[in-house]
Amino acid sequence: MTVTGKIGNTNRGDSYILHQLDFATHSNTASYNDPWIKDNVTYKGLLLKDILEIVKANPDATEMVFKNTNGQTYTVSIGDAKGWDIMLARWANDQLLFQDNGYPSKLVFPEAAKKEYPAEMWAWWVNAIEIN
């Protein structure tokens, strides 16, 4: 997972590569009501607020843009990323995501964010993040 843009911590050129170690040491687990699966799913991954800390996002950054393998983009404001437990998930119900359910990572939202971020914002196949 490559993070680019307005970041102060890099580990490959101008980018920060989120490694398995980042997921292992900073992951959270929480239940989310998945609108596509129509059930509560226990997801495990990095909260967006933790990603912002890991990459040391610049104070003037306003949004996180998530890109998936299909070239689609999904935008989350920095304020929402810090205020809600929005997660970049790698596991669902204790199993690593696979292609049919979002591998390599999936953007998931808590119930409180449902109005601002409807089902269409649950990005699957996320492989890059740009901090603007």
pLDDT of residue 99: 78
pLDDT of residue 36: 85
* pLDDT tier, 101 (very low <50, low <70, confident <90, very high otherwise): confident
Where is pLDDT greater, at 132 or 21? 132
Superfamily of 2-131 according to CATH: Oxidoreductase, molybdopterin-binding domain (3.90.420.10)
Structure tokens at 21: 């170690």
Phi, psi dihedral angles at 30 (to 5 degrees): -155, 155
Which DSSP symbol is given to 119? G
Residue boundaries of the structural domains of the chain: 2-131
pLDDT of residue 39: 81
Structure tokens at 45: 């991954």
Phi, psi dihedral angles at 4 (to 5 degrees): -130, 175
CB-hemisphere CA count at 13 Å for 64?
A: 31
Q: What is the pLDDT of residues 31-55, one digit of tens each?
A: 999 898 878 999 999 999 999 999 9
Phi, psi dihedral angles at 103 (to 5 degrees): -50, 140
Average pLDDT for 87-101:
89
CB 1 within 8 A of CB 103: no
Average pLDDT for 74-103:
92
